[in-house]
Amino acid sequence: MKICLITYGCKVNQAESQKWERILNAYGYEITDEKDKADFWIINTCAVTHKAEIQSRQIINKAKKLGIKTFVTGCYVNLTENLDGGNIKFIPNCNKDLIINNFSRINESKNLKISRHRAIIKIQDGCNNYCSYCIVPYLRGKPKSIPPEEILEEINLYESMGIKEIILSGINLGLYGIDFSEKRINLKQLLKQILKKTSIYRIRLSSIEINHIDEEFLDIIDNKRICKHLHIPLQHGSDRILKLMNRPYNTELYLRKFEEIIKRFPNISIGTDVIIGFPSEKDYDFIETLKIIEDLSFSYLHVFPYSRRPFTKASKMSEQVHEQIKKERVSILNELASRKRNKYLKNFIGKIVEVIVESRKNNLFSGTSDNYIKCFFKDSKLQKGDLAKIIINNIDKNQAFGKLVN
């Protein structure tokens, strides 16, 4: 039987789908990206924005139209009142880990593999911060942490499969362990355990809030096995807007901690998320956001127009910003993001980076470095998953090109 895994949204969704892929491969099923050739679909949906909600609804409608047997799970399922019927079965987020129980072994396959060469591992789910724009806590619930022994087991399994990098993912990574009785472990202690009890070559964090970064955390990520790459959401550069968003920091705290990180790790890659067009955002709020992003040495930005979501406080706020104004401001910020990315990449011309080979297209290999630079290079002997040292010799359209170092 051929199964197609269709995944929308965050790294947590990607981690879940990747785990299902690994287990289904071991059960003897064939995983395919070709939807029209699959016998069964598993759709892991998203509803964090209105656009994601539309994408999820469209793929579900397509499954209904084609009559393909399908399990649908993820945040969109929790948002809507879908009823099982015909070829579709809806599974809420709280039960999505049980999806795999619906599949029995076809044969005793030893085919332990995944389609990626950097494995994403879900260590935490849920959030209790209730940012005023965010629907996720209403759809994923309170923080829930994966027991450390299960995480260590999964890391060691991926390492045995030849995987050299794992990405730790969660809805709010810094809340890891908050739900355990007696607070027996937190994110920093988990990282120490991973360093001590596994030998995985690289460890990357998917995203972390600025208020969860302290001196002890920086001491831990100083270890050479932990990627010098942090994704730290800013969301906005106006303290007035940050307060309306119910974010747990102000720009002064963000700036101070950002500077501490850069001072400690000058070549680190720090990316961020920014929401533009939040209710009541004025020109001066936007200008403050542009200024803080200009001042800080971000290596990349993810820019999102504010999306009005049900249940959230922001959806009920007055002074919703016109869509055309959002579009214009997003365009300005994306141009700045492109300049910031180009500036960061040019710092590495003539320098050597180590990448994990991920793909090959048109005689060009590509791989990602520990500081999140995707490099393109030529070679005829490398295989996907190999480590390669590349000297970067050119930056073109915000892409790094280099040559293999013997």
CB-count exposure of residue 403 (10 Å: 0-12, 13-18, 19+): middle
pLDDT per position as a tens digit, 59-82: 999 999 999 999 999 999 999 876
Flag whether the pTM goes above 0.85. yes
How far is it, in rounded angstroms, from Cα 28 to Cα 296?
Answer: 49
Consecutive sets of 10 residues in the chain, 406 residues long: mean pLDDT of each?
95 96 92 94 96 95 94 94 81 91 80 83 97 97 96 96 96 96 88 98 97 98 98 98 98 98 97 98 98 97 97 96 98 98 97 93 90 91 90 95 91
The SS3 assignment for 306 reads: coil
- pLDDT (0 to 100) of residue 110: 64
Instruction: Cite the beta strand spans of 221-351 per DSSP E.
Output: 229-231, 269-276, 300-305
Q: Say how far residue 228 (Cα) sits from the centre of its chain.
A: 16
How far is it, in rounded angstroms, from Cα 177 to Cα 187?
Answer: 7
- pLDDT (0 to 100) of residue 111: 65
CA–CA distances in Å: residue 236 to residues 73, 282, 288: 31, 12, 9
What dihedral do alpha carbons 216, 217, 223, 224 form, nearest 10°? Answer: -150
